[in-house]
């Protein structure tokens, strides 16, 4: 099968001890809260008849056909945290299909942190696109090819967000870091954000720049989500800015060990950039003849 060649088992330097100690709170929370029902922390926001709760609400299936896709969001907004979900992507011919997991604030000048999984024709790999919006300004796309088949099983996708850095993670591997560089004039997310997930038609741009369209004969497309516990600083009032308490060291993700990647995480991160990244806005001189300042201070 073609996918056997595309998704190889390239070995990362995986050290269970480093992972267990460095991110112990995430693993502990995931184990203790495995039975949380989707509806405790989330609401369906659109495509209500394209959402199916399974396993007593511990699993949600979003589906998409010609009539609609579907989406959900957290009941509360958050001002910092480690936000993660286990996702199994639609299989077979998924060109034009976008599965998304992201954080977003509301309003025109919004902040947003995106995982977007861009489907492809059968036998070709998914592209994982990440993006960072601050005060309504995005255009910070990075794209990688995953080192496994994301349709074969669930994988953990997470975003760590504190006052010092934002880290996008796939399982135990950091794939993107966005540092707080306000000191050199780079904006940094400062608005409370909700957690959202969706499945939608992006055929106008998602695959081959929109040249390859969605093949609706493969519909319905189905994405599976699990793991609905939330490790975040909740914003109980309708605030436009994050209260200082969300940066307190009483939240584990604000601890000093999470201000930077450690040596082992840095090595994994550099391997992803070298081996699997195939687009980075920082190196796109057609868009940015002068690199944005955050690209010079990664």
Indicate which residues carry an active-site annotation.
Answer: 112, 116
The strand ranges marked E within the chain are 42-46, 51-54, 59-64, 70-74, 77-88, 97-104, 112-118, 127-133, 142-145, 155-161, 165-170, 173-179, 194-201, 221-226, 231-235, 277-280
CA 288/CA 290 separation, integer angstroms: 5
Contact by Cβ (8 Å): 125, 6: yes
Contact by Cβ (8 Å): 155, 148: yes
CA 297/CA 227 separation, integer angstroms: 34
CA 261/CA 104 separation, integer angstroms: 24
Listed residue (168, 166, 189) closest to 259, CA to CA: 166
Q: Please state, in angstroms and as integers, the Cα–Cα distance from residue 93 to each residue in 68, 89, 192, following that order.
A: 18, 12, 36
């Amino acid at each position: 099968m073609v996918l056997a060649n595309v998704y190889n088992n390239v070995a990362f330097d995986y050290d269970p001890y480093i992972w267990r100690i460095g991110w112990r709170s995430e693993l502990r929370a995931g184990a203790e809260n495995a039975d949380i029902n989707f509806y405790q922390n989330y609401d369906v926001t659109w495509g209500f008849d394209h959402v199916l709760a399974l396993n007593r609400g511990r699993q949600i299936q979003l589906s998409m056909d010609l009539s609609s896709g579907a989406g959900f969001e957290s009941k509360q907004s958050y001002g910092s945290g480690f936000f993660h979900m286990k996702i199994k992507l639609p299989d077979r011919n998924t060109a034009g299909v976008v599965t998304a997991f992201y954080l977003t604030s509301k309003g025109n000048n919004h902040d947003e942190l995106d995982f977007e999984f861009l489907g492809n024709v059968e036998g070709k790999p998914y592209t994982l696109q990440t993006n960072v919006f601050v005060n309504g300004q995005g255009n910070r796309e990075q794209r990688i090819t995953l080192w496994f088949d994301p349709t074969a099983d669930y994988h953990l996708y997470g975003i760590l967000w504190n006052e010092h850095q934002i880290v996008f993670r796939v399982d135990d591997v950091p794939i993107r870091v966005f540092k707080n560089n306000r000191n050199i004039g780079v904006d940094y997310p400062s608005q409370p954000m909700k957690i959202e997930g969706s499945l939608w038609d992006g055929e106008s741009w998602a695959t081959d720049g929109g040249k390859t369209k969605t093949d609706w004969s493969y519909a319905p497309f189905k994405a599976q989500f699990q793991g609905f516990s939330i490790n975040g600083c909740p914003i109980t009032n309708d605030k436009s800015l994050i209260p200082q308490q969300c940066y307190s060291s009483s939240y584990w993700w604000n601890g000093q060990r999470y201000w930077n990647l450690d040596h082992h995480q840095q090595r994994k991160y550099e391997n992803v950039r070298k081996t699997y990244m195939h687009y980075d806005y920082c190196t796109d001189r057609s868009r940015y003849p002068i690199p944005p300042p955050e690209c010079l201070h990664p």
